[in-house]
């Protein structure tokens, strides 16, 4: 009898998404990368200052069928000893203060406005979160469909 080996499964591409507070943009990007990557990505998000996940980010993602209600805001120190293929910053402040990570991480910067700074009624603020969410989704969709993420 021939001893069959299981098919080789390529390792997931490790991605860290950074923002200042890990409360909205990076949380939304993490969920979108997981969804659009169809299992190809192992994604984490963190902030240069951990706070809490913004309830409006949770609501905006729920509208797409993605539940981030159990997510927690994490400080980037939790990931300093890990290797990533990509470190993606989604706000200008995090891009400026992003440390070097071990290994061969390629740094990518996508600048999105902070939806948490939106003013107005709850509905107006939620609309800002939707807009930023959709902009992030569009950028991720474009990036995922390029050949680059398949390292």
Residue 26 a catalytic site member: no
Residue 98 a catalytic site member: yes
Q: How far apart are CA 36 and CA 30, in angstroms?
A: 10
Among 91, 126, 136, 140, the active-site one is 91
Half-sphere exposure of 113 (CA within 13 A, CB side): 11
Half-sphere exposure of 62 (CA within 13 A, CB side): 10
Among 13, 19, 126, 132, the active-site one is 19
Residue by residue, DSSP assigns 22-49 as SSSHHHHHHHHHHHHHTTSEEEEEEESS
Among 98, 136, 137, 144, the active-site one is 98
Instruction: Look at the block and give the residue holding tokens 């021939």.
Output: 2
Angle at which helix 25-37 crosses helix 55-62, to 10 degrees, equals 30
Q: Which residues are catalytic?
A: 19, 91, 98
């Amino acid at each position: 009898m021939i001893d069959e080996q299981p098919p080789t499964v390529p390792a997931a591409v490790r991605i860290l998404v950074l923002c200042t507070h890990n409360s909205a943009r990076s949380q939304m990007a993490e969920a979108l990368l997981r969804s659009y990557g169809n299992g190809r990505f192992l994604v984490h998000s963190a902030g240069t200052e951990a706070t809490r996940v913004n309830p409006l980010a949770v609501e905006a993602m729920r509208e797409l069928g993605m539940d981030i209600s159990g997510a927690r805001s994490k400080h980037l120190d939790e990931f300093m000893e890990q290797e990533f293929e990509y470190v993606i910053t989604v706000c200008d402040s995090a891009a400026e203060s992003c440390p070097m990570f071990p290994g061969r991480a390629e740094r990518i910067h996508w600048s999105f406005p902070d939806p948490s700074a939106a003013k107005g009624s709850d509905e107006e603020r939620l609309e800002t979160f939707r807009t930023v969410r959709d902009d992030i989704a569009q950028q991720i969709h474009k990036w995922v469909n390029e050949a680059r993420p398949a390292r």
